[in-house]
A = this chain, B = another copy of it.
Amino acid sequence: MSDADLLAFFKAMANESRLRIVGLLAQRERTVQELAETLVLKEPTVSHHLAVLKEIGLVTVRPDGVMRWHALDAGALAAMNRRLVSQEEVAALVPEESWESRVLSGFLDAEGRLKALPASRRKRWVILQWLVEQFDEDRRYPEAEVNATLQRRHWDSATLRRELIGAAMMAREAGVYWRLPRSAWRSYDDARLEPSQAMTA
């Protein structure tokens, strides 16, 4: 079942009349007339609500002469329900977080600062990509400002600055730094970054 289905399910249930219809159908099957009378609604309105519930597979119809008996599909309810039982399932509501995002959030603390620099070169690359985004593309920065910006993310601004240069994400000339375009970056697997010591916060 897709996320769109789940949304449709919630939209279907997010209406008092439909919620009451579901409750009534959970007791026993009913006709449109009967529901309309019970809910004090006109038949077309009930018909409309039943169409919505049928659309998501929650209600089935059994024609009988000129009447149509509507019943709740309990299995469909249970299926929807399984989507919500665990926090993990709910987390999956969101398009899978990319590997990069998961690496990054694993190394960030609640304040958005780096808890450590990963030892893995590939993971460190993710961190550097994120770090370089702290700088504007079109500005030139004195070293003091670079350090200040980096220190908002980690105490060891010197190492971070050195690694950004090493990855060709930033350039330096005469004490002035600037951000390089993505095209200039080395890819993580040919960058020759010296293995850094663990930098635990």
Contact = CB atoms under 8 A, between A and B. Distances in A.
Interface in A84-104: 84-85, 87-88, 90-94, 97
A74 interface: yes
A139 interface: no
A128 interface: no
A141 interface: no
A5 to B, nearest CB: 12
Copies of chain A in the complex: 2
Nearest to A75: B87
Indicate the size class of the contact surface on chain A: 35 or more
A63 to B, nearest CB: 12
Given A26-B93, A91-B23, A64 B110 contact: yes
A91 B13 CA distance: 14
Interface string A18-52: 01101110111101011000000000000000000
**Top 3 A-B pairs, shortest CB-CB distance:** A23-B93, A23-B94, A14-B14
30 contacts: A6-B19, A7-B14, A7-B16, A7-B19, A10-B14, A11-B14, A20-B93, A20-B94, A23-B90, A23-B93, A26-B87, A26-B88, A26-B91, A27-B91, A27-B94, A27-B97, A27-B105, A29-B110, A31-B110, A64-B110, A67-B110, A69-B110, A72-B90, A74-B87, A77-B87, A77-B90, A81-B81, A81-B84, A81-B85, A84-B84
